Structure 1
Amino acid sequence: MQQEWLAERFEHERRHLFGVAYRMLGSTTEAEDAVQEAWLRLTRSEADEIDNLGGWLTTVVARVSLNMLRTRKSRGEVSLEAGPFEAGLPAPTVVLDDTGEHDPVERAVLADSVSIALLVVLDQLSPDERLAFVLHDLFAVPFDEIAAMLDRSSDSTRQLASRARRRVHGRAPSDGMSAQREVVDAFFAAARDGDLARLVGALHPDVVLRADSGAGVTTYRGAETVAGNATRYAHPERVTRPALVNGLAGVVVTVRGKLASVMGFTVVEGRITEIEAYAAPDRIAAVAAGLGLESAHS
């Protein structure tokens, strides 16, 4: 009976715990491992003596994620920014946006999505900075509790979060969804017309395009380079449909009715600053299945 009660309480917290772990680790597999470790630790604990189960589980997941992140850093594993890298971009969350309306389940998915742009910035932080920023700024955990996890003073922990906040500031999208969509639509209209000047105008001078073909990630930098790459989307067989990709404006691209690729855009002050292009066969097959479409790679 106690085990059933614990399992129910844990399932109630699972979504939140996964959100903490994913923002710490940027990997769905590692995040799921961290959540599973929290469950194992809960089953070995004196659960009836835990006053705040949600807080206790959050602390456990945060500590597990921090240890995993420190181990990753000590091994010198490649960050998102260093690409190309073997694992590819994190799997995208994609919801078709033909009508602009979403049911409650879809809205919940979007609320939990994380833009690749944010993950890239978070990956540049030290493990301690990342923990302080994620827990305090994204999940409102008090600094005193975070300080205990890091074995630091509250003031020191505040400084960690402040440094992290300065690095994140300016990288998150500042435009509303309708404004994002307008810029993305203008980007594809210019691509179809082969108008390089308009394409460049839609892009930030330091725009970054990350293209995941399944054999690693190729990174393109600069407005002119990205604009030149974008003209290939002008092919008449390539049809773009509006979508929300990782909670931001994006498109799914079909060829003869089959899903060929997915693109997500980060728009800041009316210009595209980041583009993620997904064409890896396994990623596209998974997205196609979720959208009820056929994959061009099947």
Structure 2
Amino acid sequence: MKWYFVLQIKMLNRHLNDFGVPPALAYPILGLLFVLGSNFIFYSIESEYAVYVYLLVAVSTVLKLGEKKRNDFLKLSFTRKAYSKIRILENVLILTPFAIYLIYESEYLQILYLYLLGLIFSKFTVSTPSSFVIPTPFSKQPFEFSSGFRKTFYIYPVVYWLTYKSVEVQNFNLGIFSLLLLFFTLISYYTKMENQFYVWSFKYSAKEFLFKKIKIGVRFATLLSLPIFTTLCVFFTEFIVIVVVFQCLCFLYLIQAIIAKYSDFPKQINLPNSMIFALSLSLIPFVVITFRYFYNKSMLKLKSVLNDKH
């Protein structure tokens, strides 16, 4: 059983190296991002509800480990006893950083709930019938939203529930958090790179291809964010300007994510460009510079694939 966890670490390190990030650098950065994200949840939401949102985020990280195909493979590779130990240890290891932060927040009772939920989820697998495809309100082309929606469909009830709770308890920050969580999910759809042939098959210029992607992305994002935006504007009229500003910023970052996706096409976006994109998320004025940078790089890469001579 020990070799399984050693293998997982080696595979993770190899993925990081392939991405261009030395593990010695990646782990501290991930740790810092984890702390910043945890702080954001606890200090942007009233403490009474922040801990429940935090538990929800924590538990959602172990849901992927319950995927049926993955667990079928584990059951074939290990005895029943070893399989149970692996599933429990995996959940415990992933949830431990959340538990450490809960200690920092003096939420000791919630740690018990956290590990209890982890233990319960280790006993279940998540599966859907192979013949059943989760329906989406999005077209198959481009693939980002239809594919991404099927993988993250469980997040949407959570997002809209947080919006509802923000109105119920009159917590504007919780409503803004739900909007940011939605757009963070949408931006994640553009981390998956399509095959070069798929892009080449379009009869567009590089500019037309990029703007079509942006147009569709903004349209679908508007469809998904409209309930949150409308609710916040209606029930928090005194903060309507702030809501509009956050909505516009979310669209700006979504567009930047779409453009940045192709900056190293057909390869995944590399470490330097990933860091530039992350920096633009934290420094709003920096977006003006990075937007043009990513646009020029993406146009150059797409022109070579689409045979665009203009």
Q: Give the TM-score of the pair, scaled to structure 1.
A: 0.27
Q: Which has the higher contact order (CA 8 A, sep 6+)?
A: 1
TM value normalised by structure 2: 0.26
Q: Which has the higher strand share?
A: 1
Instruction: Looking at secondary structure, tell me which structure has more helix per residue.
Output: 2
